[in-house]
Structure 1
Amino acid sequence: MHIPENYLSPETCAVMGAAMLPVWYMAVQKVKKEVPKERLPLLGIGAAFSFLAMMFNVPLPGGTTGHAVGGTLIAVLFGPWAACLAVSVALLAQAVFFGDGGILAFGANCFNMAFVLPFAGYSIYAMVKKAMPAHPVAAAGIGSYVGINLAALCAAIEFGIQPLLFTDAAGQALYCPYPLSVSIPAMMAGHLTLFGLAEVVFTTAVLAYLTKAAPDLVKGTPSTAGASVYGLVALLIVGTPLGLLAEGTAWGEWGANEIAETEDFGSALGYVPQGMETGFSFEALFPDYAVEGLPDVAGYILSAVIGAALVIIAFKIAASFQKKPADYSTQEG
Protein backbone atom coordinates (compact mmCIF):
# COMPACT_ATOMS: atom_id res chain seq x y z
CA MET A 1 0.00 0.00 0.00
CA HIS A 2 3.07 2.24 0.08
CA ILE A 3 2.70 4.59 -2.88
CA PRO A 4 6.14 4.90 -4.53
CA GLU A 5 7.76 8.00 -5.97
CA ASN A 6 6.20 9.46 -9.14
CA TYR A 7 3.03 7.35 -9.16
CA LEU A 8 1.15 10.45 -8.05
CA SER A 9 1.60 13.83 -9.69
CA PRO A 10 3.43 16.55 -7.73
CA GLU A 11 0.10 18.40 -7.56
CA THR A 12 -1.60 15.40 -5.97
CA CYS A 13 1.27 14.95 -3.54
CA ALA A 14 1.09 18.63 -2.58
CA VAL A 15 -2.65 18.43 -1.93
CA MET A 16 -2.31 15.28 0.18
CA GLY A 17 0.61 16.71 2.13
CA ALA A 18 -1.31 19.91 2.79
CA ALA A 19 -4.31 17.89 3.96
CA MET A 20 -2.13 16.09 6.49
CA LEU A 21 -0.55 19.22 8.01
CA PRO A 22 -3.54 20.12 10.25
CA VAL A 23 -3.95 16.42 11.09
CA TRP A 24 -0.34 16.15 12.29
CA TYR A 25 -0.69 19.41 14.23
CA MET A 26 -3.82 18.17 15.96
CA ALA A 27 -2.20 14.79 16.64
CA VAL A 28 0.77 16.42 18.35
CA GLN A 29 -1.51 18.59 20.48
CA LYS A 30 -3.71 15.63 21.44
CA VAL A 31 -0.71 13.47 22.35
CA LYS A 32 0.77 16.25 24.48
CA LYS A 33 -2.53 16.55 26.34
CA GLU A 34 -3.63 12.93 26.59
CA VAL A 35 -0.49 10.77 26.70
CA PRO A 36 1.59 11.19 29.87
CA LYS A 37 5.35 11.45 29.69
CA GLU A 38 5.98 7.92 30.94
CA ARG A 39 3.77 6.43 28.20
CA LEU A 40 5.40 8.23 25.26
CA PRO A 41 8.17 5.62 24.96
CA LEU A 42 5.42 2.98 24.84
CA LEU A 43 3.90 4.86 21.91
CA GLY A 44 7.31 4.48 20.27
CA ILE A 45 7.01 0.75 20.76
CA GLY A 46 3.59 0.96 19.12
CA ALA A 47 5.26 2.69 16.17
CA ALA A 48 7.82 -0.14 16.12
CA PHE A 49 4.97 -2.68 15.98
CA SER A 50 3.64 -0.89 12.90
CA PHE A 51 7.07 -0.61 11.26
CA LEU A 52 7.73 -4.33 11.75
CA ALA A 53 4.22 -5.39 10.69
CA MET A 54 4.78 -3.67 7.36
CA MET A 55 7.91 -5.77 6.77
CA PHE A 56 5.93 -9.04 6.86
CA ASN A 57 4.88 -9.34 3.21
CA VAL A 58 2.06 -11.74 2.43
CA PRO A 59 1.90 -13.26 -1.08
CA LEU A 60 -1.25 -13.18 -3.18
CA PRO A 61 -1.78 -15.64 -6.05
CA GLY A 62 -0.75 -13.84 -9.23
CA GLY A 63 2.55 -12.53 -7.93
CA THR A 64 1.66 -9.49 -5.82
CA THR A 65 2.21 -8.97 -2.11
CA GLY A 66 0.79 -6.95 0.77
CA HIS A 67 1.16 -6.48 4.50
CA ALA A 68 -0.49 -5.50 7.75
CA VAL A 69 -0.10 -1.98 9.18
CA GLY A 70 -1.15 -2.20 12.83
CA GLY A 71 -2.81 1.21 12.93
CA THR A 72 -5.98 0.00 14.66
CA LEU A 73 -3.90 -1.88 17.24
CA ILE A 74 -2.09 1.34 18.21
CA ALA A 75 -5.38 3.26 18.24
CA VAL A 76 -6.89 0.73 20.66
CA LEU A 77 -3.87 1.04 22.97
CA PHE A 78 -3.31 4.82 22.81
CA GLY A 79 -6.20 6.41 20.90
CA PRO A 80 -6.49 7.30 17.19
CA TRP A 81 -4.61 10.62 17.37
CA ALA A 82 -1.61 8.92 18.97
CA ALA A 83 -1.86 6.12 16.40
CA CYS A 84 -1.82 8.71 13.61
CA LEU A 85 1.44 10.13 14.96
CA ALA A 86 3.02 6.71 15.57
CA VAL A 87 2.24 5.32 12.10
CA SER A 88 3.38 8.59 10.49
CA VAL A 89 6.77 8.29 12.22
CA ALA A 90 7.05 4.64 11.10
CA LEU A 91 6.22 5.63 7.51
CA LEU A 92 8.76 8.45 7.63
CA ALA A 93 11.50 6.07 8.74
CA GLN A 94 10.55 3.64 5.97
CA ALA A 95 10.58 6.31 3.27
CA VAL A 96 13.80 8.06 4.29
CA PHE A 97 15.99 5.14 5.30
CA PHE A 98 14.58 2.19 3.36
CA GLY A 99 12.92 3.64 0.26
CA ASP A 100 9.59 2.05 1.16
CA GLY A 101 7.09 4.66 -0.02
CA GLY A 102 7.91 7.86 -1.88
CA ILE A 103 9.23 11.01 -0.25
CA LEU A 104 6.84 13.18 -2.28
CA ALA A 105 4.04 10.67 -1.64
CA PHE A 106 4.64 10.73 2.12
CA GLY A 107 1.55 12.85 2.77
CA ALA A 108 -0.64 10.52 0.71
CA ASN A 109 0.72 7.41 2.42
CA CYS A 110 0.13 8.99 5.81
CA PHE A 111 -3.39 10.03 4.84
CA ASN A 112 -4.22 6.44 3.94
CA MET A 113 -2.36 4.44 6.59
CA ALA A 114 -1.89 6.92 9.46
CA PHE A 115 -5.19 8.81 9.26
CA VAL A 116 -7.93 6.87 7.52
CA LEU A 117 -6.88 3.45 8.83
CA PRO A 118 -6.59 4.11 12.59
CA PHE A 119 -9.55 6.48 12.79
CA ALA A 120 -11.86 4.19 10.82
CA GLY A 121 -10.58 1.11 12.61
CA TYR A 122 -10.95 2.68 16.05
CA SER A 123 -14.47 3.94 15.29
CA ILE A 124 -15.61 0.45 14.29
CA TYR A 125 -13.80 -1.05 17.29
CA ALA A 126 -15.58 1.33 19.68
CA MET A 127 -19.00 0.54 18.18
CA VAL A 128 -18.48 -3.22 18.20
CA LYS A 129 -17.00 -3.14 21.71
CA LYS A 130 -20.06 -1.26 22.94
CA ALA A 131 -22.26 -3.99 21.48
CA MET A 132 -19.97 -6.82 22.67
CA PRO A 133 -18.16 -5.51 25.77
CA ALA A 134 -16.91 -8.98 26.68
CA HIS A 135 -14.99 -9.33 23.39
CA PRO A 136 -12.65 -6.35 22.96
CA VAL A 137 -10.06 -8.36 21.01
CA ALA A 138 -12.67 -9.46 18.47
CA ALA A 139 -13.88 -5.86 18.22
CA ALA A 140 -10.32 -4.75 17.48
CA GLY A 141 -10.04 -7.41 14.78
CA ILE A 142 -13.23 -6.25 13.07
CA GLY A 143 -12.12 -2.62 13.29
CA SER A 144 -8.70 -3.44 11.85
CA TYR A 145 -10.25 -5.23 8.87
CA VAL A 146 -12.48 -2.27 8.02
CA GLY A 147 -9.66 0.21 8.60
CA ILE A 148 -7.12 -1.37 6.28
CA ASN A 149 -9.69 -1.84 3.52
CA LEU A 150 -10.77 1.79 3.65
CA ALA A 151 -7.11 2.81 3.52
CA ALA A 152 -6.59 0.56 0.47
CA LEU A 153 -9.65 2.07 -1.20
CA CYS A 154 -8.23 5.58 -0.70
CA ALA A 155 -4.92 4.51 -2.23
CA ALA A 156 -6.77 2.93 -5.18
CA ILE A 157 -8.66 6.16 -5.81
CA GLU A 158 -5.45 8.20 -5.64
CA PHE A 159 -3.89 5.84 -8.19
CA GLY A 160 -6.95 5.74 -10.41
CA ILE A 161 -7.52 9.49 -10.80
CA GLN A 162 -4.00 10.07 -12.17
CA PRO A 163 -4.69 9.02 -15.80
CA LEU A 164 -7.91 11.05 -15.71
CA LEU A 165 -6.10 14.23 -14.71
CA PHE A 166 -2.56 14.01 -16.06
CA THR A 167 -1.77 12.93 -19.63
CA ASP A 168 0.69 13.98 -22.35
CA ALA A 169 -0.09 15.25 -25.85
CA ALA A 170 -0.48 11.68 -27.09
CA GLY A 171 -3.03 10.90 -24.39
CA GLN A 172 -0.68 8.63 -22.45
CA ALA A 173 -0.65 8.81 -18.66
CA LEU A 174 2.11 10.88 -17.11
CA TYR A 175 1.99 9.09 -13.76
CA CYS A 176 0.08 6.02 -12.57
CA PRO A 177 -1.44 4.68 -15.81
CA TYR A 178 -4.22 2.54 -14.35
CA PRO A 179 -7.73 4.05 -14.23
CA LEU A 180 -10.21 3.56 -11.43
CA SER A 181 -11.71 0.57 -13.22
CA VAL A 182 -8.38 -1.20 -12.79
CA SER A 183 -6.91 0.28 -9.60
CA ILE A 184 -9.92 -0.29 -7.35
CA PRO A 185 -10.51 -4.00 -8.08
CA ALA A 186 -6.75 -4.67 -8.15
CA MET A 187 -6.16 -3.06 -4.74
CA MET A 188 -9.31 -4.33 -3.09
CA ALA A 189 -8.98 -7.95 -4.23
CA GLY A 190 -5.95 -8.48 -2.02
CA HIS A 191 -7.07 -6.36 0.92
CA LEU A 192 -10.55 -7.81 1.17
CA THR A 193 -8.94 -11.26 1.38
CA LEU A 194 -5.41 -12.09 2.52
CA PHE A 195 -4.06 -8.66 3.42
CA GLY A 196 -7.13 -7.79 5.46
CA LEU A 197 -6.82 -11.16 7.19
CA ALA A 198 -3.15 -10.43 7.92
CA GLU A 199 -4.18 -7.17 9.59
CA VAL A 200 -6.78 -8.99 11.70
CA VAL A 201 -4.32 -11.71 12.75
CA PHE A 202 -1.59 -9.22 13.64
CA THR A 203 -3.96 -6.94 15.58
CA THR A 204 -5.72 -9.65 17.56
CA ALA A 205 -2.61 -11.72 18.25
CA VAL A 206 -0.58 -8.79 19.59
CA LEU A 207 -3.53 -7.37 21.55
CA ALA A 208 -4.35 -10.75 23.11
CA TYR A 209 -0.70 -11.21 24.09
CA LEU A 210 -0.43 -7.73 25.61
CA THR A 211 -3.70 -8.19 27.50
CA LYS A 212 -2.06 -11.03 29.43
CA ALA A 213 1.58 -9.96 29.44
CA ALA A 214 1.21 -6.18 29.88
CA PRO A 215 -2.31 -5.45 31.17
CA ASP A 216 -1.42 -1.93 32.32
CA LEU A 217 -0.48 -1.02 28.76
CA VAL A 218 -3.81 -2.29 27.45
CA LYS A 219 -5.82 -0.65 30.22
CA GLY A 220 -4.22 2.70 29.43
CA THR A 221 -2.74 3.27 32.89
CA PRO A 222 0.70 4.88 33.22
CA SER A 223 3.32 2.16 32.88
CA THR A 224 6.71 1.36 31.45
CA ALA A 225 7.71 -1.28 28.95
CA GLY A 226 8.67 -4.55 30.58
CA ALA A 227 10.60 -7.53 29.32
CA SER A 228 7.43 -9.03 27.82
CA VAL A 229 6.87 -5.99 25.60
CA TYR A 230 10.48 -5.70 24.45
CA GLY A 231 10.51 -9.47 24.02
CA LEU A 232 7.62 -9.19 21.57
CA VAL A 233 9.50 -6.52 19.61
CA ALA A 234 12.55 -8.80 19.49
CA LEU A 235 10.43 -11.74 18.35
CA LEU A 236 8.94 -9.68 15.54
CA ILE A 237 12.40 -8.51 14.48
CA VAL A 238 13.72 -12.07 14.32
CA GLY A 239 10.65 -13.13 12.35
CA THR A 240 10.75 -10.36 9.74
CA PRO A 241 12.73 -12.43 7.18
CA LEU A 242 9.53 -14.39 6.66
CA GLY A 243 8.55 -11.38 4.57
CA LEU A 244 11.27 -12.35 2.09
CA LEU A 245 9.39 -15.54 1.27
CA ALA A 246 6.72 -13.55 -0.56
CA GLU A 247 7.90 -13.18 -4.13
CA GLY A 248 6.76 -10.37 -6.35
CA THR A 249 5.94 -6.71 -5.81
CA ALA A 250 2.91 -5.14 -4.20
CA TRP A 251 0.37 -3.89 -6.75
CA GLY A 252 1.18 -0.34 -7.80
CA GLU A 253 4.74 -0.41 -6.45
CA TRP A 254 6.63 -1.41 -9.61
CA GLY A 255 9.72 0.51 -10.60
CA ALA A 256 9.78 2.66 -13.73
CA ASN A 257 11.91 0.01 -15.42
CA GLU A 258 9.27 -2.65 -14.72
CA ILE A 259 5.97 -0.98 -15.42
CA ALA A 260 6.10 -1.12 -19.24
CA GLU A 261 6.36 -4.92 -19.19
CA THR A 262 4.10 -5.53 -16.20
CA GLU A 263 0.98 -7.35 -17.26
CA ASP A 264 -2.05 -6.19 -15.38
CA PHE A 265 -5.51 -7.48 -16.21
CA GLY A 266 -4.14 -9.47 -19.14
CA SER A 267 -1.93 -7.07 -21.08
CA ALA A 268 1.31 -5.15 -20.69
CA LEU A 269 1.23 -1.36 -20.56
CA GLY A 270 3.84 -1.04 -23.31
CA TYR A 271 5.30 2.34 -22.28
CA VAL A 272 6.80 4.12 -19.28
CA PRO A 273 4.81 7.18 -18.20
CA GLN A 274 6.99 10.26 -18.67
CA GLY A 275 6.45 11.57 -15.17
CA MET A 276 7.59 8.27 -13.71
CA GLU A 277 10.64 8.08 -15.96
CA THR A 278 11.93 11.62 -15.38
CA GLY A 279 10.40 12.46 -12.01
CA PHE A 280 11.85 12.96 -8.54
CA SER A 281 14.47 10.45 -7.43
CA PHE A 282 15.73 9.70 -3.92
CA GLU A 283 18.30 7.09 -2.93
CA ALA A 284 17.61 5.56 0.48
CA LEU A 285 20.42 4.26 2.69
CA PHE A 286 19.05 0.71 2.76
CA PRO A 287 16.73 0.33 -0.26
CA ASP A 288 14.25 -2.53 0.08
CA TYR A 289 15.63 -3.28 3.56
CA ALA A 290 18.86 -4.61 2.06
CA VAL A 291 22.29 -3.89 3.53
CA GLU A 292 25.21 -3.98 1.13
CA GLY A 293 27.57 -6.83 1.83
CA LEU A 294 25.12 -8.82 3.95
CA PRO A 295 22.92 -11.78 2.96
CA ASP A 296 19.27 -10.88 2.44
CA VAL A 297 18.14 -12.40 5.74
CA ALA A 298 20.83 -10.66 7.78
CA GLY A 299 20.18 -7.37 6.00
CA TYR A 300 16.44 -7.67 6.62
CA ILE A 301 16.96 -8.31 10.33
CA LEU A 302 19.45 -5.44 10.65
CA SER A 303 17.01 -3.14 8.85
CA ALA A 304 14.28 -4.23 11.28
CA VAL A 305 16.57 -3.45 14.23
CA ILE A 306 17.48 -0.04 12.80
CA GLY A 307 13.90 0.88 11.96
CA ALA A 308 12.46 -0.22 15.30
CA ALA A 309 15.25 1.56 17.18
CA LEU A 310 14.72 4.77 15.22
CA VAL A 311 11.02 5.07 16.00
CA ILE A 312 11.43 4.07 19.66
CA ILE A 313 14.25 6.57 20.15
CA ALA A 314 12.21 9.30 18.43
CA PHE A 315 9.43 8.97 21.02
CA LYS A 316 11.89 8.69 23.92
CA ILE A 317 13.42 11.98 22.79
CA ALA A 318 9.94 13.47 22.55
CA ALA A 319 9.24 12.30 26.11
CA SER A 320 12.36 14.10 27.36
CA PHE A 321 10.93 17.41 26.13
CA GLN A 322 7.58 16.90 27.84
CA LYS A 323 8.24 18.67 31.14
CA LYS A 324 4.81 18.77 32.74
CA PRO A 325 2.56 15.75 33.36
CA ALA A 326 -0.16 15.60 30.74
CA ASP A 327 -3.84 15.67 31.55
CA TYR A 328 -4.57 12.06 30.87
CA SER A 329 -7.86 10.46 29.99
CA THR A 330 -7.80 6.67 30.08
CA GLN A 331 -8.26 5.22 26.62
CA GLU A 332 -10.76 2.50 25.99
CA GLY A 333 -9.00 -0.82 25.62
Structure 2
Amino acid sequence: MHIPDGFLDLSVAALFAALSVAVLAVAARRADGELAGARAPLLGVVAAGVFAAQMLNWPIPGGTSAHFVGGAFTAILLGPHLGALCVATVVVVQALVFGDGGVLVLGANVFNMAVVQVYVGYAVYRVVAPYNEFAGAFAAGWLGITAAAVAAGVQLGVSSAFAYELGTTLAIMGVGHLVLGVVEGAVTAVVYRYLTDARPDLRHAATSAEVSA
Protein backbone atom coordinates (compact mmCIF):
# COMPACT_ATOMS: atom_id res chain seq x y z
CA MET A 1 0.00 0.00 0.00
CA HIS A 2 2.97 2.35 0.60
CA ILE A 3 3.91 3.74 -2.83
CA PRO A 4 7.68 4.35 -3.23
CA ASP A 5 9.22 7.43 -4.81
CA GLY A 6 9.54 7.29 -8.58
CA PHE A 7 6.24 5.49 -9.14
CA LEU A 8 4.05 8.60 -9.51
CA ASP A 9 4.37 11.64 -11.77
CA LEU A 10 5.22 14.75 -9.77
CA SER A 11 1.98 16.39 -10.90
CA VAL A 12 -0.05 13.45 -9.56
CA ALA A 13 1.91 13.45 -6.30
CA ALA A 14 1.41 17.20 -5.91
CA LEU A 15 -2.33 16.96 -6.59
CA PHE A 16 -2.91 14.32 -3.93
CA ALA A 17 -0.63 16.11 -1.49
CA ALA A 18 -2.83 19.19 -1.84
CA LEU A 19 -5.97 17.10 -1.39
CA SER A 20 -4.53 15.47 1.73
CA VAL A 21 -3.60 18.82 3.27
CA ALA A 22 -7.07 20.21 2.57
CA VAL A 23 -8.91 17.22 4.08
CA LEU A 24 -6.65 17.02 7.14
CA ALA A 25 -7.02 20.76 7.75
CA VAL A 26 -10.79 20.28 7.94
CA ALA A 27 -10.32 17.19 10.11
CA ALA A 28 -8.10 19.14 12.53
CA ARG A 29 -10.80 21.78 12.96
CA ARG A 30 -13.47 19.17 13.62
CA ALA A 31 -11.47 16.73 15.75
CA ASP A 32 -11.82 18.60 19.05
CA GLY A 33 -15.20 17.09 19.73
CA GLU A 34 -13.78 13.59 19.25
CA LEU A 35 -11.22 14.06 22.04
CA ALA A 36 -13.83 13.78 24.76
CA GLY A 37 -14.54 10.84 27.04
CA ALA A 38 -12.90 7.46 26.54
CA ARG A 39 -11.31 8.31 23.20
CA ALA A 40 -8.64 10.76 24.41
CA PRO A 41 -6.57 8.18 26.36
CA LEU A 42 -6.87 5.79 23.39
CA LEU A 43 -5.18 8.11 20.90
CA GLY A 44 -1.58 7.19 21.73
CA VAL A 45 -2.35 3.50 22.18
CA VAL A 46 -4.21 3.23 18.88
CA ALA A 47 -1.50 5.16 17.04
CA ALA A 48 1.21 2.87 18.43
CA GLY A 49 -0.77 -0.26 17.54
CA VAL A 50 -1.48 0.90 14.00
CA PHE A 51 2.15 1.94 13.57
CA ALA A 52 3.40 -1.52 14.57
CA ALA A 53 0.84 -3.31 12.40
CA GLN A 54 1.64 -1.22 9.32
CA MET A 55 5.32 -2.08 9.54
CA LEU A 56 4.52 -5.69 8.60
CA ASN A 57 4.44 -5.64 4.78
CA TRP A 58 4.26 -8.33 2.12
CA PRO A 59 4.82 -7.63 -1.62
CA ILE A 60 2.12 -8.01 -4.26
CA PRO A 61 2.56 -7.92 -8.06
CA GLY A 62 3.08 -4.49 -9.58
CA GLY A 63 5.73 -3.08 -7.26
CA THR A 64 3.67 -2.19 -4.19
CA SER A 65 2.86 -4.01 -0.96
CA ALA A 66 -0.04 -5.07 1.22
CA HIS A 67 -0.37 -4.85 4.99
CA PHE A 68 -2.85 -4.16 7.75
CA VAL A 69 -3.65 -0.43 7.64
CA GLY A 70 -6.13 0.01 10.48
CA GLY A 71 -7.80 3.13 9.12
CA ALA A 72 -11.35 1.88 9.63
CA PHE A 73 -10.49 0.48 13.06
CA THR A 74 -9.02 3.83 14.08
CA ALA A 75 -12.05 5.73 12.79
CA ILE A 76 -14.49 3.49 14.68
CA LEU A 77 -12.66 3.92 17.97
CA LEU A 78 -11.57 7.56 17.72
CA GLY A 79 -14.05 9.10 15.30
CA PRO A 80 -13.31 9.79 11.62
CA HIS A 81 -11.56 13.15 11.93
CA LEU A 82 -9.27 12.22 14.79
CA GLY A 83 -8.78 8.85 13.12
CA ALA A 84 -7.62 10.52 9.90
CA LEU A 85 -5.11 12.66 11.80
CA CYS A 86 -3.90 9.61 13.74
CA VAL A 87 -3.28 7.47 10.65
CA ALA A 88 -1.72 10.41 8.79
CA THR A 89 0.78 10.86 11.62
CA VAL A 90 1.68 7.18 11.48
CA VAL A 91 2.20 7.27 7.70
CA VAL A 92 4.38 10.40 7.93
CA VAL A 93 6.60 8.93 10.66
CA GLN A 94 6.99 5.69 8.74
CA ALA A 95 8.09 7.55 5.60
CA LEU A 96 10.44 10.04 7.24
CA VAL A 97 12.01 7.78 9.87
CA PHE A 98 11.77 4.25 8.47
CA GLY A 99 11.64 4.87 4.72
CA ASP A 100 8.35 2.98 4.38
CA GLY A 101 6.83 4.76 1.38
CA GLY A 102 8.39 7.62 -0.56
CA VAL A 103 8.79 11.18 0.65
CA LEU A 104 7.81 12.84 -2.63
CA VAL A 105 4.66 10.72 -2.80
CA LEU A 106 3.88 11.09 0.91
CA GLY A 107 0.74 13.11 0.21
CA ALA A 108 -0.62 10.33 -2.02
CA ASN A 109 0.07 7.67 0.62
CA VAL A 110 -1.58 9.81 3.28
CA PHE A 111 -4.58 10.33 1.00
CA ASN A 112 -5.02 6.60 0.42
CA MET A 113 -4.56 5.37 3.97
CA ALA A 114 -5.54 8.31 6.18
CA VAL A 115 -8.30 9.85 4.06
CA VAL A 116 -9.88 7.23 1.80
CA GLN A 117 -9.68 4.23 4.11
CA VAL A 118 -10.63 6.15 7.23
CA TYR A 119 -13.67 7.95 5.82
CA VAL A 120 -14.90 5.15 3.56
CA GLY A 121 -14.45 2.61 6.34
CA TYR A 122 -16.27 4.81 8.82
CA ALA A 123 -19.14 5.43 6.39
CA VAL A 124 -19.53 1.69 5.82
CA TYR A 125 -19.50 1.07 9.58
CA ARG A 126 -22.25 3.61 10.16
CA VAL A 127 -24.44 1.96 7.53
CA VAL A 128 -23.97 -1.65 8.66
CA ALA A 129 -23.40 -1.39 12.44
CA PRO A 130 -27.03 -0.59 13.39
CA TYR A 131 -27.94 -4.06 12.07
CA ASN A 132 -24.86 -5.94 13.31
CA GLU A 133 -21.94 -4.22 15.00
CA PHE A 134 -19.46 -7.04 14.35
CA ALA A 135 -20.42 -7.17 10.67
CA GLY A 136 -20.14 -3.40 10.51
CA ALA A 137 -16.56 -3.47 11.77
CA PHE A 138 -15.69 -6.28 9.36
CA ALA A 139 -17.22 -4.53 6.35
CA ALA A 140 -15.54 -1.25 7.32
CA GLY A 141 -12.08 -2.82 7.39
CA TRP A 142 -12.64 -4.86 4.25
CA LEU A 143 -14.18 -2.20 2.01
CA GLY A 144 -12.10 0.62 3.47
CA ILE A 145 -8.78 -0.96 2.53
CA THR A 146 -10.17 -1.97 -0.88
CA ALA A 147 -11.17 1.65 -1.56
CA ALA A 148 -7.71 2.81 -0.50
CA ALA A 149 -6.12 0.28 -2.86
CA VAL A 150 -8.31 1.46 -5.73
CA ALA A 151 -7.19 5.05 -5.05
CA ALA A 152 -3.57 3.90 -5.17
CA GLY A 153 -4.28 2.02 -8.38
CA VAL A 154 -5.68 5.17 -9.97
CA GLN A 155 -2.64 7.19 -8.93
CA LEU A 156 -0.26 4.59 -10.34
CA GLY A 157 -2.26 4.01 -13.50
CA VAL A 158 -2.47 7.67 -14.54
CA SER A 159 1.25 8.21 -13.93
CA SER A 160 3.53 7.85 -16.94
CA ALA A 161 6.37 7.12 -14.50
CA PHE A 162 4.80 3.76 -13.69
CA ALA A 163 5.22 0.81 -16.04
CA TYR A 164 1.60 -0.37 -16.04
CA GLU A 165 -1.57 1.20 -17.40
CA LEU A 166 -4.68 2.10 -15.43
CA GLY A 167 -6.59 -1.11 -16.14
CA THR A 168 -3.70 -3.23 -14.92
CA THR A 169 -3.06 -1.23 -11.76
CA LEU A 170 -6.75 -1.21 -10.85
CA ALA A 171 -6.95 -4.98 -11.36
CA ILE A 172 -3.83 -5.68 -9.30
CA MET A 173 -4.55 -3.26 -6.47
CA GLY A 174 -8.34 -3.41 -6.41
CA VAL A 175 -8.89 -7.13 -6.89
CA GLY A 176 -5.83 -8.03 -4.84
CA HIS A 177 -6.96 -6.00 -1.85
CA LEU A 178 -10.57 -7.10 -2.28
CA VAL A 179 -9.25 -10.57 -1.42
CA LEU A 180 -6.60 -9.53 1.10
CA GLY A 181 -9.03 -7.05 2.61
CA VAL A 182 -10.89 -9.97 4.18
CA VAL A 183 -7.96 -10.22 6.59
CA GLU A 184 -8.16 -6.50 7.38
CA GLY A 185 -11.89 -6.84 7.96
CA ALA A 186 -11.48 -9.86 10.21
CA VAL A 187 -8.74 -8.24 12.31
CA THR A 188 -10.76 -5.02 12.58
CA ALA A 189 -13.88 -6.87 13.74
CA VAL A 190 -12.15 -9.28 16.14
CA VAL A 191 -10.00 -6.65 17.84
CA TYR A 192 -12.91 -4.21 18.07
CA ARG A 193 -15.15 -6.86 19.65
CA TYR A 194 -12.41 -7.84 22.11
CA LEU A 195 -11.83 -4.23 23.16
CA THR A 196 -15.50 -3.38 23.52
CA ASP A 197 -16.17 -6.57 25.49
CA ALA A 198 -13.33 -5.65 27.86
CA ARG A 199 -14.22 -1.95 27.89
CA PRO A 200 -17.93 -1.44 27.15
CA ASP A 201 -17.43 2.33 27.41
CA LEU A 202 -15.53 2.20 24.13
CA ARG A 203 -18.69 1.06 22.39
CA HIS A 204 -20.49 4.11 23.72
CA ALA A 205 -17.60 6.29 22.56
CA ALA A 206 -17.87 4.88 19.05
CA THR A 207 -21.61 5.48 19.05
CA SER A 208 -21.21 9.08 20.18
CA ALA A 209 -18.63 9.59 17.44
CA GLU A 210 -21.27 8.57 14.91
CA VAL A 211 -23.67 11.19 16.26
CA SER A 212 -21.09 14.00 16.33
CA ALA A 213 -19.50 13.29 12.93
**Shorter-chain TM-score above 0.5:** yes
In structure 2, the residue matched to 1:316 is none
Determine the C-alpha separation between the residues in 2 that align with 1:156 and 1:27. Answer: 25
CA deviation after TM superposition for structure 1 residue 332, in Å:
4.0
Report if the CA contact (8 A) 1:53-1:202 is conserved. no
Determine the C-alpha separation between the residues in 2 that align with 1:143 and 1:217. Answer: 17
Q: Equivalent residue of 2:191, what SS?
A: helix
In the TM superposition, what whole-angstrom CA distance separates every residue of 1:104-141 from its partner, at most 9, and x where no partner exists?
111111111111111111111111123x1xx2121110
> For structure 1, which segment, 79-88 or 30-39, has the greater mean C-alpha deviation from structure 2 after superposition?
30-39
Q: 1:211 aligns with which of 188, 191, 196?
A: 196
Partner AA of 2:147 in structure 1: L
CA deviation after TM superposition for structure 1 residue 185, in Å:
1.1
Structure 1 moving runs of 4+ over 6 Å: 59-64
CA deviation after TM superposition for structure 1 residue 53, in Å:
2.1
Q: What RMSD in Å do the two structures reach over aligned CA positions?
A: 2.4
In structure 1, the residue matched to 2:156 is 159
In the TM superposition, what whole-angstrom CA distance separates every residue of 1:190-224 from its partner, at most 9, and x where no partner exists?
2011x201211220121011012222233218xxx
Partner AA of 1:11 in structure 2: S
In structure 1, the residue matched to 2:208 is 330
Gaps of 5+ in 1: 164-174, 222-328
Gaps of 5+ in 2: none
CA deviation after TM superposition for structure 1 residue 29, in Å:
1.3
Higher relative contact order (CA 8 A, sep 6+): 1
In structure 1, the residue matched to 2:164 is 178
Would you say how many aligned residue pairs link Structure 1 and Structure 2? Answer: 211
Using the size of structure 1 for normalisation, the TM-score is 0.59
Report if the CA contact (8 A) 2:143-2:178 is conserved. no
**Are 1:139 and 2:136 matched, yes or no?**
yes
Determine the C-alpha separation between the residues in 2 that align with 1:36 and 1:54. Answer: 27
Determine the C-alpha separation between the residues in 2 that align with 1:29 and 1:176. Answer: 36
Determine the C-alpha separation between the residues in 1 that align with 2:37 and 2:199. Answer: 18
**Identity between Structure 1 and Structure 2 (%):** 39
Using the size of structure 2 for normalisation, the TM-score is 0.89
Determine the C-alpha separation between the residues in 2 that align with 1:8 and 1:156. Answer: 11
Determine the C-alpha separation between the residues in 1 that align with 2:137 and 2:38. Answer: 25
Report if the CA contact (8 A) 1:67-1:198 is conserved. no
In structure 1, the residue matched to 2:177 is 191
Structure with greater Cα Rg: 1
**Are 1:83 and 2:83 matched, yes or no?**
yes
Partner AA of 2:156 in structure 1: F
Determine the C-alpha separation between the residues in 2 that align with 1:176 and 1:204. Answer: 35
CA deviation after TM superposition for structure 1 residue 82, in Å:
1.1
